Amino acid sequence: MFNQPISDENFTLFAAHKYQNPACASEEEFYEDLNRVKYIKRLFFRFDNTGELKVRLLLNHIIILTNVFGNEGATRILFHKSEEKYYGYIKTFLKYLNALPTKIPELELDIIALDHRIDTSLKELT
């Protein structure tokens, strides 16, 4: 199921299908996890405008997304809900976490370039 690209119409169904949180007690908790994408986008926006990169906070949000939606689900959700200018940022974080699938139906991951500034910041963590 869901080998076709995600659309705005089937997005919530896709996210619910991929959601794997046995501790989830309510629909509200599902949407709280899904809202992490908004926080990630805000942090990317801040990075674009101020140059301030909150690496650890971004890693925490992305790790939680991959934990509850799986690598493929989190990747597809992040790319679907983000502007194209953030694709390199997303790919760089997912690659660092070894959570980047080889292929998704929405776009060709191979043509997205890693962001060297983020890559450098992530390498400084190890």
Per domain, the residue ranges of the chain are 11-125
What whole-number distance in Å separates Cα of residue 70 and Cα of residue 52? 28
Measured CA angle at 47 (ends 45, 51), to 5 deg? 145
Mean pLDDT of 96-116: 95
pTM of the model: 0.93
pLDDT digits (tens, 9 = 90+) for 23-67: 777 888 999 999 999 999 999 999 999 999 999 999 999 999 999
126 pLDDT higher than 80 = no
* Mean pLDDT computed over every residue of the chain: 93
pLDDT the model gives residue 2: 64
| C-alpha radius of gyration, the chain, whole number | 14
